[in-house]
Amino acid sequence: DFSIWSKSLTHEEVQNYYYSSPNGLENDL
């Protein structure tokens, strides 16, 4: 699910998403 990339996220928001996710972005990949 790449829905996160369809939004205009700042670098900080992307990092927040990455570190707040149990498996990081591996979940979406």
6 Cα distance to chain centroid = 11
- Is pTM beyond 0.85? Reply is no
Residues with Cβ within 8 Å of residue 25, at least 6 apart in sequence:
17, 18
pLDDT of residue 5: 64
CA atoms within 13 A on the CB side of 26: 4
pLDDT of residue 6: 64
pLDDT of residue 23: 61
pLDDT of residue 16: 76
Domain range annotation of the chain:
1-29
Please provide residue 20's backbone torsions phi and psi, each rounded to the nearest 5 degrees: -90, -10
pLDDT of residue 12: 82
Angle (nearest 5°) at CA 14 between 26 and 24: 20
pLDDT in tens, 1-29: 566 666 677 778 777 777 666 665 555 54
